[in-house]
Amino acid sequence: MTTFRLDSISPELADAFRKATPSIRRKAALIASQIAASRAGLDADVVTTALQNLSRGKVDAGVRQGLENLVAQLDNQYFRLSEGQTAAESDALRLFSKARAASALVFASSEDPNG
């Protein structure tokens, strides 16, 4: 059985996600990604392209790679900021949120809707 991060928040919702068809899983992942990107203020061309592709049911390996690069970049910025003595907690949290939103898009953009 595939374990999702969602299992730690809502086991019932995670179970429903597992039982859903691949099409429904993709739609749910798209909606979750849209919400996460919006709330985190994640604004990058690759994010816009990924969301547009997902809304059309399209998966693009190049866009997914771009998202993975964005996640790595945001994670690196977050780690550098959180390790610094003068790190503003709100800035670190903002970067962390953006990285997790981008990570959700990577998941949504996977070929296998199971992740």
Q: Render pLDDT for 88-104 as a digit per residue (tens, 0 to 9).
A: 777 888 899 999 999 98
pLDDT at residue 85 greater than cutoff 70: no
User: What's the CA gap between 111 and 105, in Å, rounded?
Assistant: 12
C-alpha to C-alpha distance for 64 and 110, rounded to whole angstroms: 7
Report the share of the chain in percent with pLDDT over 70.
Answer: 92
Identify the residue whose tokens are 């949290």: 93
Q: What mean pLDDT comes out for the span 44-68?
A: 93
pLDDT band at residue 87 under the 50/70/90 scheme: low
**pTM for the predicted model, two decimal places:** 0.81
**CB 30 within 8 Å of CB 109:** no
**Residue that wins the pLDDT comparison between 50 and 59:** 50
* Residue type at 95 in one-letter notation: L
Report the pLDDT value the prediction gives residue 86, as an integer from 0 to 100. Answer: 57
Query: Which of these, 14, 12, 58, 51, lies nearest to 33 by C-alpha position?
Result: 51
Residue among 108, 109, 97 at smallest CA distance from 37: 97
